[in-house]
């Protein structure tokens, strides 16, 4: 998974701002990198409704369970 996840991608997100309304769509850039061999840090930057948006995701690997 780590090799597939690293890198930079154009991204598209949908955020539901209000119940019953269609989602707001936004395009941005996501960059994922390895930290120490057991962690992946992913940062996504975009703009939503005219305001800057940053999303961060951290994934960890458990070598005993062999699962992310």
Model pLDDT for residues 9-68, shown as the tens digit of each residue: 999 989 898 999 999 999 999 999 999 888 999 999 999 888 999 999 999 988 899 888
Number of domains in the chain: 1
pTM: predicted TM-score of the whole model, two decimal places:
0.71
Residue 23 is assigned to a structural domain of this protein: yes
Residue 20 is assigned to a structural domain of this protein: yes
Residue 68 is assigned to a structural domain of this protein: no
Residue 50 is assigned to a structural domain of this protein: yes
- Per DSSP, the residues of 14-59 read EE--STTSPPEEEEEEEEEEEETTTEEEEEEEEEETTEEEEEEEEE
> Which candidate, 26, 54, 53, 56, places its Cα nearest to that of 40?
56
Domain with 7, as residue range(s), is: 2-60
Residue 65 is assigned to a structural domain of this protein: no
Residue 67 is assigned to a structural domain of this protein: no
Residue 6 is assigned to a structural domain of this protein: yes
């Amino acid at each position: 998974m780590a090799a597939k996840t690293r890198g930079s991608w154009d991204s598209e997100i949908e955020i539901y701002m209000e119940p019953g309304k269609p989602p707001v769509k936004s395009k941005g850039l996501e960059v994922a990198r390895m930290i120490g061999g057991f962690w992946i840090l992913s940062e996504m930057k975009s703009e939503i409704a005219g305001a800057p948006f940053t999303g961060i995701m951290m994934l960890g690997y458990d070598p005993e369970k062999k699962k992310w």
